[in-house]
A and B are shown apart, each in its own frame.
Chain A
Amino acid sequence: MKIAVCVKQVPEGSRRIDPETKRLDRSGEGALNPFDSHAVEEALRLKESTGEGEVVLVSMGPAKAQDALRKALAMGADRAVLVSDEGAAGADLVATSYALAKALERESADLILFGQQAGDSDGAVLWAAVADRLRLPVASQAAEVEHADGKLTVKRQTEFGYDVIEAPLPAVVAVSDAINEPRYPSLKGIMGAKSKPQEALSLADLGVESDRAGEAGSRTEVYALNDPPARGDSRKIEDDGNAAQAILDFLAEKRLV
């Protein structure tokens, strides 16, 4: 079974938004998006359970996103593909999903995995858009994934409890962080990662037209940054025996009870 895992690098350390571009300042050191490490782990487990197959990492980002890929390769992924092109900068969900879908088409994987949420809240919900472009079934918030006879059984966590969904392969699945505990790469794994194949592709290599990439291909824009609205008056009282009632009244006022 060939499994493609979509991963991204996110800035480490204190996050800030660049006041010039109004986008996340990605110039700091980068790390593998922690939510993606659950997806990588699940891919490795699925491969290990079938005894054969390949785990390919697919990512989009600047050249130094290679570092995040190396960590996932150290965990045990077999190879990595990085779509790195200046023309992709400033891409929103529409543009990113388009390019990513092209890269995934090239791989023709049986299963495509995503992590549920990007720590920098920038790439959330990508999987559903990618699945639509690839015309594949999608299941998200997967807390458990099982594979048998070319079919996937996914336990999905919703607000109401757990659904069980079945989908034929090939399919797209987004895994939640409850699904597994990602492994630590072994020292051998870390040292071996450097010699695993890492391919760098440009948008042209994928056949992505320049007007569908980056800012040009995006359909949203950022206008301004503002301070958050004030939290509102903060009240502080001393308990004279009636504090509990005061709290209840407060909750009632806010329609929380």
Chain B
Amino acid sequence: MSTLVFLEHHGNELLKGSLGVLSKAASLGEAEVAGVVAGTGVRALADEAGKFGAAKVYVAEDAQLEAPLSQPRVDVLAQLVRDKGFDTMLFANSVLAADVAAGLAARLDAGINWDLTDIVREDGKLVGKRPALQDSVYVDVGWTSEVRLALFRPGSFDPSATGGSAEVEEIQVALEDFSSGARMIDQAHEESEGPSIEDAQVIVAGGRGLGGPENFTLVEELAKALGGAVGATRAVVDAGWYPYSTQVGQTGKTVAPKLYIACGISGAIQHKVGMQSSGVIVAVNKDPNAPIFEFSDLGVVGDVHDVVPKLTELVKQRKAS
């Protein structure tokens, strides 16, 4: 098995997701793992990749790769895979990576499995694990093509620095005529406001247990301290406490952040189906029989008006230190 990992970067850093996938690939212990970075001024990233398990890093340095657009990267990867004979290419999902991986699948006529949370070798086959039907069932998937592409769900693997160094090889870039059709006119800047509820990695949500709209400030403060977004249940949106755009649930938004903190939320199924795929669920509710305790990872039977502000303080202190 000869593996290549797509290493995405933003600014001067490799993305955590990419490093996670790289660490995973290295831990499979099958053979040496290679990484590829593409852009301008990216050579320096190769060292970082080495620390997280890449034995070799291919660097595609070209002005045409400056903007994070997918199609030039498909050209680079296709060429690399063909030239060096890689049989496995791994991606950490992102807006960019998804388009690159799918474009590459078409280009190489290679099987692609996405939304994977793990990959293992079983009975001599490479098997990907992916959730389906709102995480209610897990499917084992595989590839029948020579070249196998895998796209992993964000946050599937934690980066683990094994401290190594990578050999660097610069590669020539030759783009197809249509790959430069799309041009970046204005690239995104870091958002100054909090993340939108759809993108947030942390969501703090409030329900009827808050007691009144004025208590939503408790939720907002905690969300701000954690760098997350604010969510609301149908009941409080119906009552006019918070806007419909923040409603999480069957008739609102479906979210899957790494952390979901439910404050004063009972956990009726209409709400549950909107957030049950969250990585870690913490619930605070004064009713010990609230259904939310059946699917939260940590449940606290207590008064949100006591617990939440204290938690906010503790989080702020920790972040300051």
Contact = CB atoms under 8 A, between A and B. Distances in A.
Direct contact of A and B (CB under 8 A): yes
B172 interface: no
B307 A244 contact: yes
A196 interface: no
B137 A17 contact: yes
Interface in B160-186: 176-178, 181-186
Scoring A128, A153, A229 by chain B CB atoms within 10 A of each residue's CB, the highest score goes to A128
A219 B110 contact: yes
B12 interface: no
A137 B297 contact: no
A141 B112 CA distance: 20
A250 B109 CA distance: 45
Tell me the dominant secondary structure on chain A's binding face.
mixed
B111 A92 contact: yes
A94 B106 contact: yes
A66 interface: no
A126 interface: yes
Given A128-B98, A235-B297, A236-B299, A257 B181 contact: no
Given A128-B98, A255-B158, A223 B142 contact: yes
B315 to A, nearest CB: 6
A257 B226 contact: yes
A132 B73 CA distance: 12
A87 to B, nearest CB: 17
Given A97-B106, A128-B102, A166-B182, A235 B299 contact: yes
Contact of B111 (A98, A220, A224): A220
B87 interface: no
A180 to B, nearest CB: 15
Interface residues of B, number: 89
Contacts of B297: 231-232, 234-235, 250
Contact of A257 (B10, B141, B315): B315
Contact of B186 (A97, A127, A164, A222): A164
Interface in A141-172: 141, 153, 156-168, 171
Contact of B259 (A94, A126, A251): A251
Contacts of A127: 99, 102
B143 interface: yes
22 contacts: A98-B106, A124-B114, A125-B98, A125-B99, A125-B102, A128-B70, A129-B105, A129-B106, A132-B106, A153-B185, A158-B94, A159-B199, A161-B188, A219-B145, A221-B143, A238-B288, A245-B310, A247-B282, A247-B284, A247-B311, A248-B318, A255-B158
Interface of A: 15-17, 22, 24, 92-94, 97-98, 121, 124-133, 135-141, 153, 156-168, 171, 178, 218-229, 231-232, 234-239, 241, 243-248, 250-252, 254-257
